[in-house]
Structure 1
Amino acid sequence: MTNNNPIGLFDSGIGGTSIWTKIHQLLPNESTIYLADSKNAPYGQKSKDEIIALSIKNTEYLLNQNSKLIVVACNTATTNAIKELRAKYDVPFIGIEPALKPAVNNSETQVIGILATKGTLNSELFNKAVKLYQDTTIIEQIGYGLVQLIENGDMNSPEMFELLKTYLNPMIKANIDYLVLGCSHYPYLIPQIKKILPPHIKIIDSGEAVARQTHTILKEKVGFNVSEKPHTAFYTNTDPKVLSEILNHEYPIEERDF
């Protein structure tokens, strides 16, 4: 089965590029379109209705670019809007949710931490997932301010380090042995996080699982690109400087109004 149309991805800014990177590594022959909705970041502080409306806006933009599959590269948008997106559109959607299952299944202390946005932690989908793991203590922490700092290009700032210490030290004291990153922006903080966490605490994010699921859906339902020249497009609705930096200036970025 072949389909040369692009894979579409969207996020509330630059964080979903952590997901895009894993997909691009696994599927280098696929064309991709990435929407960084930085103008409306962070989604995690918005209402469910606002998140759904933004997700519909982004989806329609990607469908107008002939996307064959859409990756919701944002935990908050997935946990609040993917049900509505799947009901509204025929295109397959792949979401990103906090990877609780591998953390719970492998935890020896039966205490895990999750760092995520308010929108994700308060969502119905996330709270349903938590109820499946009654035997494990799950310490939830909203990452207030983290997305804004990343979007501003301040991920290595002293302010970021102090914020992370505030959020992670109580988890360390509670004896977590796994930290789940529940926001696609947060993998960019792993170098900072590793300076704070003891080495035995493992960090889990969802990028590789999303890439594998993308491969599966292409194989079973959509089709692979057989074109010799895959293309990559990055669009942002704010200054592209930080997005360009996070991609090591390897790709052209267009500033568009969407």
Structure 2
Amino acid sequence: MQRQKPIGIFDSGVGGLSIVSAIKRMIPDENLIYFADTEFSPYGNKSKEIINQRSEDIINFLINQGCKMVVMACNTATVNSISRLRSKFSIPIVGVEPAIKPAALNSKTGTIGILATQQTLESESFHLLKSKYSQQVNIETKTCPKFVSLVENLNHNNEQAVKITEQYIHPLLSKGCDQIVLGCTHFSFLNVVIKSVVGDKANIIDTAIPVAMEVKRRLQSHNMDKSESVIGTVEFWTSGDSTKVIKSISKLWEQDIKVFEAKNLTPVSTN
């Protein structure tokens, strides 16, 4: 029965749906549970201690829902918490981190750009990842505090999004970046706008597909992949008001869905 259990996926809000979509396309038979922590979004301006505790609470919730694996579909949570959480939980945990390696390998100018949240860029994990490739390429970073709210409020494909994207992208292009890494799952939904601003000056690297490939690999290596060829289900949960998030999830998921509210999640003090 272990193989029939769902895969749990969580993010601070709706951005992780980009990961859910990639997993669904790659392994459609698997049952998925997505948790949008909208009551606590964004993670990018929270302390490491708070992110650690919140991530632990959500993983406990997903385990209680019967999940056999958890995907941390959030760069900020991954770089701050994944090592600690892997030592604490016995189930496989897959994370998301900025794709510096492929950017470094593909760069012709020797300069790459990373778009991410403040917490991701300030994390020890990111600094270790950056230092690993900093002798190979020059790595420019840019915090994008407005991108998450654009996606959460479904303003990711309008003129406002274009103007904000230009503010974030132009400094990277002016420094010669020919590879731009989307270091947050929310940013995937700005892909069209980002490409329109970048044009042919740089390549955009998203991590959704590599993460889905890793999920599939880990399932197979642990003999946990679903054993029957029946299209899996996708269940949506939120820590906030479902009536507020259902429009965003339905729009980004491109179909009407039902969202359940998680009322028993342990609250974390922001003090």
TM bracket, shorter-chain basis: over 0.9
Contact 1:111 1:136 in 2 (8 A): yes
Which residue identity is paired with 1:44? G
1:199 aligns with 2:206: no
Contact 1:113 1:140 in 2 (8 A): yes
1:1-258 map, 5 Å:
3-133=3-133, 134-227=135-228, 228=230, 230-236=232-238, 237-238=240-241, 239=244, 240-257=246-263, 258=265
Contact 1:121 1:127 in 2 (8 A): yes
Contact 2:44 2:117 in 1 (8 A): yes
Displacement of 1:41: 1.0
Contact 2:7 2:71 in 1 (8 A): yes
Which residue identity is paired with 1:93? I
Could you list the per-position Cα deviations for residues 220-239 of structure 1 after superposition, in whole angstroms to 9, with x for gaps in the alignment?
11411124352210112232
d(CA) in 2 for partners of 1:32, 1:226:
15
Aligned length, in residue pairs: 258
Could you list the per-position Cα deviations for residues 14-63 of structure 1 after superposition, in whole angstroms to 9, with x for gaps in the alignment?
00010011111010000000000011111011000010111011101100
Which residue identity is paired with 2:43? Y
d(CA) in 1 for partners of 2:138, 2:236:
39
Which residue identity is paired with 2:171? P
Displacement of 1:200: 3.9
Per the alignment, residue 269 of structure 2 pairs with: none
* Long gaps (5+) in structure 1: none
Which residue identity is paired with 1:253? V
Cα RMSD after superposing both structures: 1.5
TM-score, reference length from structure 2:
0.91
Contact 1:31 1:230 in 2 (8 A): yes
Contact 2:28 2:231 in 1 (8 A): no
* Long gaps (5+) in structure 2: 266-271
d(CA) in 2 for partners of 1:90, 1:171:
41
d(CA) in 2 for partners of 1:201, 1:40:
34
Contact 1:72 1:96 in 2 (8 A): yes
d(CA) in 1 for partners of 2:201, 2:118:
27
